[in-house]
Amino acid sequence: MLTQSIFGMRGIAVAPHSLAAESAIAVLREGGNALEAMIAAAATIAVVYPHMNSIGGDGFWVINGPNNRPGGIDASGRSAQAASRAWYASRGITSSIPFRGSVAALTVAGTISGWGAAYQLSKQCLNGKLPLSRLLADAVYFAQHGIAVTQSQEACTALKRSELEPHSGFASTFLPQGIVPTKASIFKQPKLADTLSLVAQQGCDTFYRGKLAKMLGAELAEVGSPLTLADLNAHQAKLVDPLHTKTTQGQLFNMVPPSQGLLSLLILGIMDRIHGWDQDPEGAAFIHTQVEATKLAFSIRDQYLTDPAFMSVAPQDLLTSARIDALAARLDTTRAAPWGQKTSPGDTIWMGVIDQAGIAVSFIQSIYHEFGSGVVLPHSGVNWQNRGCSFSLNPGHINTLEPGKKPFHTLNPALAQRADGGVMVYGAMGGDGQPQTQATIFNRVTRFGDHPQLAIERPRWLLGRTWGQSSDSLKLESRFSANTIDQLRALGHDVETIGAWDEGVGHAGMLIRHANGVLEGGFDPRSNGAVASF
């Protein structure tokens, strides 16, 4: 394929569905800023890519603000106050929380609070003037009048139908006339249109403390979720300072816990200390080094990462030079370390926007698994996330369930202030594949000299599982050379080949604002995405 990157001067956006990128650019053309543009894109993607995300999920923002000041928004929700281990035990659930159904819908959906926080930041810091009704207009239209079903939506619905059809509201929402919507057919979501219209009219706070919140509280009780109106009332998005580390390529930023943004920074920090792998962007040395760095980063995650209120060490302290040096010293460039752990699948969208002033947003929004809990609330049409099923019911586990606790998140949007004066936002969907793909495309651009589109289009790999997969092998797209595959097996990796352009390696995207102001971006042809610019 090997197409070229897209360029712009006044604004650029990337999304895994072209309509979301177009929504962002339309806002920028009307004088909106990057925060306003991302709100529009986030609302649109929640409608046009419904198997991948929803307003019933969580979101994280990492922002390059005025004068290159970094910032972030944590729009993730806590578990219900009623959601205790005893609550589950009383229902006969003692080993693990089910992935689907009302008992999996146990955490507040935070994403709309993130839209609200971004909207306020836009007004207070960036002179934002566009009304929320304008920013949500495309999403309302698409929900009311319909979208063209993608092949991805059709395939995902068919694959998960038997698992999801029994759950409240799924069939009536996602199986109109009792059948899987086919590619290029028209799919409407009228209840969601009404809900988005209410948010547009009354503001994002209505989802938590207004008319809509009262409706949601009643609906959640009706379907058997432990969440209540009081849980919604208590929720607030939080402004945070992102985690950061410095490498020879620049200053790197990612989201604080409960996000696993730490992993992306650790992988890149470890690789920055290892030499000899950066000769071939599709070679075994690159893949081996990154896979081994990934294993080391996972070991830190599994030991420390959870809701920061429950962590024993400050997250930024896990990124000291001494700690990363020690991890890098353990990496064996000649042999694969043992790997037997189960990784987390996930289903997410990542998007980026950069405006003419250099305000850049790296954004991720998710309902965790495909279609989240599978529960669609009967009146609002909100498909609720199942992020809380990642909690453990083992009281000794670092991510054990407690009332009012944030679950561990695979979500992590990345941003870099490059050593050459440029700014980059990049990311991917796909559970534990996210930090791996981030490191892959970042290194291909900064170490191998790829342009963003080439970095994304080259064949990719994944250690473990992601969306739609069940095995934990090292998976390589079949476009890799036989020599690369043979070398990796010789190094001790359990290699499995997957499709040539496999969605399992995630939907990646990247935008760069070069030091001279030129904007450049690449999107993932494995998705229905696009880069839009002007």
Q: What is the DSSP string of 129-142?
A: ---HHHHTHHHHHH
Tens digit of pLDDT for each residue in 224-260?
Answer: 999 999 999 999 999 999 999 999 999 999 999 999 9
- Count CB atoms within 10 A of the CB of residue 242: 27
Asked if residue 309 has pLDDT above 50, the reply is: yes
Dist. CA 143–CA 122, nearest whole Å:
26
Residue 317's pLDDT is 97
Residue 410's pLDDT is 86
Residues whose CB is less than 8 angstroms from the CB of residue 426 and which lie 6 or more positions away in sequence, other chains included: 352, 362, 414, 415, 416, 438, 441, 442, 508, 509, 510, 511
Q: What is the mean pLDDT of residues 99-103?
A: 97
Report whether 474 contacts 483 (CB < 8 A).
no
Name the token pair of 42: 């986030």
Q: What is the mean pLDDT of residues 197-219?
A: 98
Asked if residue 344 has pLDDT above 60, the reply is: no
Residue burial 59-87, b: 16+ Cβ < 10 Å; e: rest? bbbbbbbeeeebbbbbbbbbbbeebbbeb
Tens digit of pLDDT for each residue in 42-64?
Answer: 999 999 999 999 999 999 999 99
371 lies in a domain?
no
495 lies in a domain?
yes
Residues of the domain holding 341: 240-346+410-533
Return the active site residues: 348
Q: Packing angle between helix 190-202 and helix 137-145, nearest 10 degrees?
A: 160
- Count CB atoms within 10 A of the CB of residue 7: 15
CATH number of the CATH domain containing 467: 3.60.20.40
Task: With H, G, I as helix, E, B as strand and everything else as coil, classify residue 25.
Answer: helix
Residue 467's pLDDT is 47
Asked if residue 472 has pLDDT above 80, the reply is: no
pTM of the model: 0.96
Name the average pLDDT for the chain.
95
H/E run at residue 111: helix 111-125
Banded pLDDT at 464 (limits 50, 70, 90): confident
Q: Say how far residue 375 (Cα) sits from the centre of its chain.
A: 20
329 lies in a domain?
yes
Dist. CA 125–CA 417, nearest whole Å:
20
DSSP string covering 459-499, please?
--EEES--TT----SEEEETTS-HHHHHHHHHTT--EEEE-
- What type of residue sits at position 150? T
Dist. CA 35–CA 38, nearest whole Å:
5
Dist. CA 152–CA 503, nearest whole Å:
9
**Strand 11-15 and strand 474-477: pairing?**
unpaired
Total of domains in the chain: 1
Residue 476's pLDDT is 97
Residues whose CB is less than 8 angstroms from the CB of residue 92 and which lie 6 or more positions away in sequence, other chains included: none
Q: Say how far residue 105 (Cα) sits from the centre of its chain.
A: 19
4 lies in a domain?
no
460 lies in a domain?
yes
Residue 239's pLDDT is 98
317 lies in a domain?
yes
Q: Find tokens 């990128």 and name the residue.
A: 21
Task: With H, G, I as helix, E, B as strand and everything else as coil, classify residue 357.
Answer: coil
504 lies in a domain?
yes
Name the token pair of 299: 């070991």
Asked if residue 432 has pLDDT above 90, the reply is: no
DSSP string covering 375-417, please?
-B-TTT--BB--GGGGSBS-TTSTTB--TT-PPPB----EEEE
447 lies in a domain?
yes
**Counting beta carbons within 10 angstroms of the beta carbon of residue 144, is it exposed (0 to 12), middle (13 to 18) or buried (19 or more)?**
middle
Q: What angle do CA 365, 368, 374 make, to 5 degrees?
A: 115
Closest CA to 73 of 81, 63, 84: 63
Residue 3's pLDDT is 83
Task: With H, G, I as helix, E, B as strand and everything else as coil, classify residue 72.
Answer: strand
